[in-house]
Amino acid sequence: MIGSRLTRDAVYDKRDRFWRRRLAALGEQEDTLRRGGGEKRLARQAAKGKLSARERISTLCDPGSAFLELGLWVAHGFYQEHGGAPAAGVVVGIGTVAGHEAVIVANDATVKAGAWFPLTCKKVLRAQEIALENRLPIVYLVDSAGVFLPMQDEIFPDKEHFGRAFYNNARLSAAGVFQMAAIMGPCVAGGAYLPIMSDESHIVEGTGSIFLAGSHLVRAAIGEQIDNQALGGALIQCDVSGVVDHRHPDDKSCLAAMRRQFAQLATPERARFARRRATAPAHAPEEILGVMPVDRTRPYEAREILARLLDGSEFDEFKANYGKTLVCGTGWIDGWAVGIVANQRSIVSRKTGGEHGDKELQIGGVIYSDSADKGARFVELCNQKGIPLVFLQDVTGFMVGGRAERGGIIKDGAKMVNAVANSVVPKITVFIGNSYGAGNYAMCGKAYGARFVYAWPSAAIAVMGGEQASQTLASIQLKNGGDSVSDEEKQQLLDRIRKRYSDALDPRYAAARLWVDAIIDPTETRTVVSRSLSVAAHNPEMPEFRTGVLQT
C-alpha cells in the first residue's frame, strides 16, 4: 500500500478551495453548453413534438445508467461571427442501451438546425474512431440540415472532411461493428448517406425526412413542385422506396423500438484483461484537490495522486530507485489491472556515480535518459503481460543541455516514444498538469494512439511552458525591431504574448479543438478510467507487440 504523507494544512486547504471553485465555474459553463441553442429554441423543438438531442439520448439509454459525454467543449470560442456553435451542434458519448455499451451521436437541431461545422465533422469522426477502435456499436440520431454552407470549403472535399463519415460507415460495417440510425428530422444531400449506410435505419413520421435534394433545390433544378414530406418523408422512404427499414409515429416510439432491437444483439467476445473485485482507495479521491498545486511550477508527490486513484491504494512500483522523475508500476482501478506511467513532480536527487558519491539535483516533471529507458522498458513489459496502460501527464519535456546530449537523451527519448507508439494494449491518457514538447509524445499524447484522452482543470498543453515561450517569442520579435523599441514597449509586447499564450494553455482551449475528449473532475478519474477500460475491452484483438529498430 502506498503510504500517505499528506498534511491537511493551510496549503492543502488553499489548493482544495481553489480547485473546488474552478470546478464549480466549469460546471456552470458546461450547463450552458448543454442547453445548446438556448431555451427558446428548445421550446420551439418541443412545440414540433420533437425531443431535444439530450432527451433522445436519455430515452434511448437504460434508466439510471451513466452517459459518458465526450467533446462537450468542442468549438468553444469558435464561429462567433455566425453566432457560435455550442458543443459543435452535436452530442457524443458512451451510453448503455439495453445492457449494451454503445457510442451515441445525436445532432442538436437547436444549434443552426443541426448543421455541420468543420469541428462538428471532427467530433463525429472521433466518435466513429472510438467505435471502430473498440468494436463498439454506434447509434446516430439524425436531425441535421447538412453542411453549414458559409463554411462549405472547410468541410466538404478533404480527407478528414464530411465524406470521411460515410467512408467510416462502410469500414465499420465491414468490420462487423453494428450501426443503427434514426432519422428524427431533416437529413439532406450527402448527409442522407450516413443513416442509410448504417446497418439498420428508422424514421419518425411527420418530422423525419431524407432526400438528396430538398424541395427548393428540386424546383430550381428540374422545376418540380413538391413538398419535403411527399419528396422524402417517412411514408415515401419506408413504404414506397424501401430506403428506410422502420417508421414510427413519434420520437419515443422510435427510440423504444431501437432499444428492443439492441436487446437482441449478440454478446460480444471481450478482451481477457485481468479483473478482480473493486475496492475503494485507502485515501479519499476528494483529497486530490488538496494535492494538486495551483501553480503548475510547484512540486508535489505523484504517489499521493496514485494513493487516491488505485484500489486499496496498492501499487507495485517498477524500478522505484531508478529514473526517479518517472513513476511506473502496476495496480488496479475499479477492479481493472492497469500499468501506470506518471511524471514525478517532486524534486529528487540521484547519485552520479562519482568518486565521492556526489549528487545531481533533478528537476521534477523532466524526463531524463534513465527515466526514458525505464519508461520504455515498462511499456514493453505491460504489452508482454497484456496490461492496459494509464498515463498521467505532468511533463515539461526531456532534459536539455550539454550533459544530457552527451548522455544520449535523444536516443533514449526516441526509444520511449517508439515503445509507446507501437504499444498494442489499450492506452488511456489523463493530462493532470503540464504537457510540453516531446514529453507530450512520450507520455502518449493524442498523436500516439490513446483510446481515450482526458484532462483535469489543472492541465496545460503546449510546445513549451508559457514563460519560456513568451521570452523566446518576444526576443525574436524585438530582434527584428532593432534598437528603436523602448523598455515600456518591450514590456507591453511581453505582456501581450504572455496573455495570448496563457489563454492557449487553458484546458478549454485544448478541449475546444478535440485535443482531449473531455475535461473531467479529478475526483471522478477512477470512474472515467474504469468506463474507458470497459469500452476498450470490447475489442479482443491484440496484435503482436513489436517496436522496430531501437538504438541502444
Ordered DSSP codes for 465-502: -HHHHHHHHHHHHHHHHGGG--HHHHHHHHHHHHHHHH
Predicted confidence (pLDDT) at residue 479 exceeds the cutoff of 70: no
Predicted confidence (pLDDT) at residue 170 exceeds the cutoff of 50: yes
Predicted confidence (pLDDT) at residue 318 exceeds the cutoff of 50: yes
Give, for 350, the enclosing helix (H) or strand (E): strand 348-351
Give the max Cα distance, the chain: 94
Write down the pLDDT at residue 464.
67
List C-alpha distances in Å: 262 to 43, 147, 151, 257, 265: 30, 30, 36, 9, 5
For residue 208, which of 235, 227, 176 has the smallest C-alpha distance? 235
Average pLDDT over residues 210-237: 90
Which alpha helices (DSSP H) does 35-92 contain, by range?
39-47, 53-60
CA 89/CA 21 separation, integer angstroms: 28
Per-residue confidence at 358, pLDDT binned at 50, 70, 90? very low
Lowest average pLDDT, out of 154-158, 265-269, 278-282, 304-308, goes to 154-158
Higher pLDDT, 496 or 441: 441
For residue 138, which of 184, 108, 176 has the smallest C-alpha distance? 176
Q: What is the pLDDT of residues 230-276, one digit of tens each?
A: 999 999 999 999 999 999 999 999 999 999 999 999 999 999 999 99
Cα 43–Cα 44–Cα 50 angle in degrees, nearest 5: 90
Beta-ladder partners of 180 = 139, 200
Buried b (16+ CB within 10 A) or exposed e, 467-478: ebbbeebbeeee
Write down the pLDDT at residue 482.
55
For residue 389, which of 415, 424, 365 has the smallest C-alpha distance? 424
Mean pLDDT of the residues in the chain: 92
Q: Cβ contacts of residue 307 below 8 Å, gap of 6+?
A: 2, 3, 4, 281, 282, 283, 313, 315
Write down the pLDDT at residue 232.
92
Per-residue confidence at 473, pLDDT binned at 50, 70, 90? low
CA 323/CA 311 separation, integer angstroms: 25
Q: What is the pLDDT of residues 3-61, one digit of tens each?
A: 778 889 999 999 999 999 999 999 999 999 999 999 999 999 999 999 999 999 999 99
Write down the pLDDT at residue 548.
82
CA 371/CA 375 separation, integer angstroms: 6
Average pLDDT over residues 361-368: 84
Residue 502 burial (C-beta neighbours within 10 Å; 0-12, 13-18, 19+):
middle
Q: What percent of the chain has pLDDT over 70?
A: 93
Predicted confidence (pLDDT) at residue 114 exceeds the cutoff of 50: yes
Predicted confidence (pLDDT) at residue 353 exceeds the cutoff of 60: no
Q: Which amino acid is at 110?
A: T
CA 468/CA 351 separation, integer angstroms: 29
Write down the pLDDT at residue 166.
94
For residue 515, which of 444, 445, 464 has the smallest C-alpha distance? 445
Write down the pLDDT at residue 357.
47
CA 121/CA 485 separation, integer angstroms: 45
Beta-ladder partners of 467 = none
Write down the pLDDT at residue 518.
98
C-alpha R_g of the chain: 26
333, 33 in Cβ contact below 8 A? Answer: no
439, 392 in Cβ contact below 8 A? Answer: no
Write down the pLDDT at residue 481.
58
Q: Cβ contacts of residue 499 below 8 Å, gap of 6+?
A: none
Average pLDDT over residues 388-404: 94
Predicted confidence (pLDDT) at residue 492 exceeds the cutoff of 80: no
210, 169 in Cβ contact below 8 A? Answer: no
For residue 4, which of 282, 325, 320 has the smallest C-alpha distance? 282
Cα 201–Cα 202–Cα 207 angle in degrees, nearest 5: 135
Beta-ladder partners of 331 = 338
3-state SS class at 449: coil
Model confidence pTM above 0.85: yes
Write down the pLDDT at residue 39.
97
Q: What percent of the chain has pLDDT over 90?
A: 78
State the pairing for strand pair 336-343/326-333: antiparallel
268, 131 in Cβ contact below 8 A? Answer: no
DSSP state of 287: G
Predicted confidence (pLDDT) at residue 356 exceeds the cutoff of 50: no
Per-residue confidence at 472, pLDDT binned at 50, 70, 90? low
Q: Which three cell numbers stand for residue 259?
A: 432499444
Q: Which three cell numbers stand for residue 190?
A: 450527402
Higher pLDDT, 549 or 210: 210
Average pLDDT over residues 484-496: 72
530, 128 in Cβ contact below 8 A? Answer: no
Per-residue confidence at 65, pLDDT binned at 50, 70, 90? very high
Ordered DSSP codes for 185-240: EEEEGGGGHHHHTSSEEEEETTT-EEESS-HHHHHHHH-----HHHHHBHIIIIII
Give, for 331, the enclosing helix (H) or strand (E): strand 326-333
318, 328 in Cβ contact below 8 A? Answer: yes
First-to-final CA distance of the chain:
34
Beta-ladder partners of 361 = 349
